[in-house]
Amino acid sequence: MKAAVIRSFEQPPRYEDFAVPVPKGRDELLVDVLAVGLHHLTRARAEGSHYTSAGVLPLIPGVDGVGRGADGKLRYFVVDGTRTGTMAEKTVIEADHSIVLPRDSDPVTVAAAMNPAMGAWLALRCRVPFKKGQRVLILGATGNAGSMAVQISRHLGARQIIATGRDEQKLAKLPGLGATEVVALGDDRLGSLAREVDVVLDFVWGESTPRVMDMVVRARAERERPLAWIEIGSVAGQTAAIPAALLRASGLQLVGSGLGSVPGREIVKELPALVKEIVRGTFHLDVKAMPLSNVERAWTEAAHANERIVLTP
């Protein structure tokens, strides 16, 4: 079969021949892959920099996708940290790590939306007891996952949605997706605007997080009031120097959300409700489909693309 193959962590994958994977148990299925999203997680694993990366080569990248099995059913599936990922004509999946999609599902749309949507969806549904009417601050709202977080927060009933990021042109579009306020990441007004938030969805981390955290905590009228800070992404850096005083002198609760903090079976349990909204068209995401044979070009474009790139074998 043809597949995208990583043979060096310093080079993009190449389109080449690779052995067809073989199911090893009754719970595994061989599927024909129809669409695979080129996500930040996929790139980080393929570069060996993600915390779930096995660091073993060669490997086929891809953490999820849409495909069809021998039974004819269309499925969305997630694969664990395996060397045989989803960017191939065929892949092996675990049946209990997949869900059957509605017949009218568009494989490209589902493949594009599920990964960026799961960041905020799992954080608000699984990591904190989020309630309708609460207030949300989103750090990194101008990325695909961040803009999806704006829409998911609105869908789940957030009363206030403050979107912040560095790209002011993209920020200007977020009120149309549900943001009640937008502000540049380095703006001094951020603390006062976000002083009453209940939840922070942090896709940024790095040096930006401690600065924003300090601004928000200092501006709160009641510092003991609970503030759930959920670390989801780390586009600005893998480490953040959080002052101890912020944790001791406030109701700040720092948690993470991702593979490991949310059990795999709990993730799969949440997928049907999310898929339903994606198929219904509840959320907007710009998508660009490209053939898998153009994976090297897609890999380069993804670093600067505004759209979510989806590869089609």
Residue 164, beta-bridge partner list:
139, 183
**Percent of the chain that is helix, strand, coil (3-state, to 5):** 30, 25, 40
Q: Are residues 146 and 91 in the same domain?
A: no
pLDDT band of 142, cuts 50, 70, 90: very high
pLDDT of res. 47: 73
Judge if 252 and 120 occupy the same domain: yes
Q: What is the domain extent for residue 295?
A: 2-101+283-312
- CB-CB contact of 228 with 198 (8 Å): yes
Considering the domain architecture, whether residues 92 and 138 belong to the same structural domain is answered as no
SS3 state at 189: coil
Q: Which of 8-17, 73-82, 184-193 has the lowest mean pLDDT?
A: 73-82
pTM of this prediction?
0.91
Assigned domain for 271 exists: no
Average pLDDT over every residue of 148-176: 97
What is the number of domains present in the chain? 2
Label residues 56-69 b or e (16+ Cβ within 10 Å = b): eeebbbbbbbbbeb
251 and 293 belong to one structural domain: no
pLDDT in tens, 33-62: 999 999 887 887 777 665 555 667 898 999
Residues 131 and 244 in one domain: yes
Banded pLDDT at 174 (limits 50, 70, 90): very high
pLDDT for the residue 263: 84
- Is residue 267 in a domain? no
How far is the C-alpha of 293 from the C-alpha of 97, rounded, in Å? 27
Lowest mean pLDDT of 134-148, 155-169, 174-188, 264-278, name the range: 264-278
**Domain presence at residue 109:** no
The verdict on 132 and 231 lying in the same domain is: yes
Which has more pLDDT, 264 or 220?
A: 220
Q: Note whether 130 and 215 are same-domain residues.
A: yes
Is 222 domain-assigned?
Answer: yes
Could you tell me the CATH number of the domain that includes residue 58?
3.90.180.10
Q: Is 275 part of a structural domain of the chain? A: no
- Label each residue of 199-224 as H, E or C: EEEECCECCHHHHHHHHHHHHCCCCC
Over residues 271-290, mean pLDDT = 95
240 shares a domain with 130 = yes
Same domain, yes or no: 124 and 151: yes
Q: Is residue 252 domain-shared with residue 121, that is, in the same domain? A: yes
* Residue 261 within a domain: no
Same domain, residue pair 189 and 70: no
Report pLDDT for 167. 93
Q: Across residues 270-282, what is the average pLDDT?
A: 94
Write out pLDDT tens, residues 226-244: 999 999 999 889 999 999 9
Q: What is the mean pLDDT of residues 116-131?
A: 96
CA–CA gap between residue 102 and residue 283 (Å, rounded): 17
Q: Are 225 and 141 contained in the same domain?
A: yes
Residue 218 located in a structural domain: yes
**CATH code, domain with 240:** 3.40.50.720
- Phi, psi of 115, rounded to the nearest 5 degrees: -65, -50
Confirm whether 305 is domain-assigned: yes
pLDDT of residue 42: 82
3-state secondary structure of 39: coil
